[in-house]
Amino acid sequence: MKLTTKDAAFLETLRRLSDEKQLSIELKEDVLKRLVLRQNYGDRIRSFHMTRQGVRWRFNHIFNQMYVSAYLTILLVESNFGTDLRHYAMAIAKQRAELRHKAQQLGQISLPRREKAKQTATPKPST
């Protein structure tokens, strides 16, 4: 799974509110461990430009699904091949992040698949 532009905007807003000590992320231990958003984020819903349910969904999607899933993948790869490949993977990831950042600065952001498909679809000739 890849982060979308909405995910990136959500993370930026969450980081800003976390830096201002208005929100925090904590580990909750029920039957399964999971990350939760703490403090009264209901007062700050407008900062995210989405509903309370949307904030909960996106937080869970990014932190408890994508982020943890990435570490599960890393754990599986490193348990089979050791940590020798980690340096290479980090170098590749840094390069891709830099290229993405440069493309964003130049305004060459690729469109999501759905929008790209709509734009490339040829219009039907009118009869």
Q: What is the pLDDT of residues 33-67, one digit of tens each?
A: 999 998 876 677 788 888 888 999 999 999 999 99
The mean pLDDT value of the chain amounts to 84
Of 22-31, 40-49, 83-92, where does mean pLDDT reach its minimum?
A: 40-49
This prediction has a pTM of 0.70
Domain boundaries, the chain: 5-81
- DSSP bridge pairs for 24: 38
Q: What is the mean pLDDT of residues 18-33?
A: 91
List of residues 6+ apart from 25 with CB closer than 8 A: 18, 35, 36, 37, 38, 63
Residue 103's φ and ψ, nearest 5 degrees, are: -65, -40
